């Protein structure tokens, strides 16, 4: 009564990392649609930003979240982490060219949101 049979739908564990959905929109959204991901990228659009500055800019997201998303983005080569100083510790994050390529999309989202009072 609890295994075998292959229910009406299956497939699990595609939560993060190289999503295999057939729909390109779905795949793309998993990369830049995650909670805070778009905001982070967008706040890096002009210049490198230091970790705690990012935390302040995104008032509402925890350090843990931001750290987590930044690592995700780093592993996808969308942002680069740079150590500015050792003592006291200082690092900054900036977009790669690939990361910058997502800005077009994000800006479309932003404009749509604003135009429709989302």
Buried b / exposed e along 94-111 (16+ C-beta atoms within 10 A): bbeeebeebbeebeeeee
3-state secondary structure of 12: coil
CB of 118 to a copy of itself, least distance (A): 5
Q: Which of 75, 42, 73 is nearest to 57 (CA)?
A: 42
Footprint on this chain of a copy of itself (rule: CB under 8 A): 8-9, 11, 21-29, 31-34, 36, 38-39, 42, 58-63, 98, 101-102, 104-106, 108-110, 112-116, 118
What are the structure tokens assigned to 28, written together? 């793309």
53 binds DNA (CB under 7 A): yes
Cβ-based nearer residue to DNA, 12 or 104: 12
Residues 17-36 that bind DNA (CB under 7 A): 34-35
CB of 21 to a copy of itself, least distance (A): 7
């Amino acid at each position: 009564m609890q295994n075998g049979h292959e229910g009406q739908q299956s497939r699990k564990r595609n939560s993060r990392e190289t999503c295999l959905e057939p729909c390109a929109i779905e795949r793309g959204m998993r990369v830049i649609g995650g909670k805070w991901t778009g905001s982070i990228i967008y706040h890096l659009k002009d210049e490198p930003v230091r970790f705690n500055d990012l935390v302040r800019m995104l008032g509402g997201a925890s350090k843990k979240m931001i750290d987590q998303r930044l690592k995700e983005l780093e592993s996808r080569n969308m942002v680069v982490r740079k150590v500015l100083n050792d003592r006291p510790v200082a690092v900054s994050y900036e977009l790669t060219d690939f990361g910058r390529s997502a800005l077009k999309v994000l800006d479309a989202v932003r404009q749509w949101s604003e135009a429709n009072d989302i």
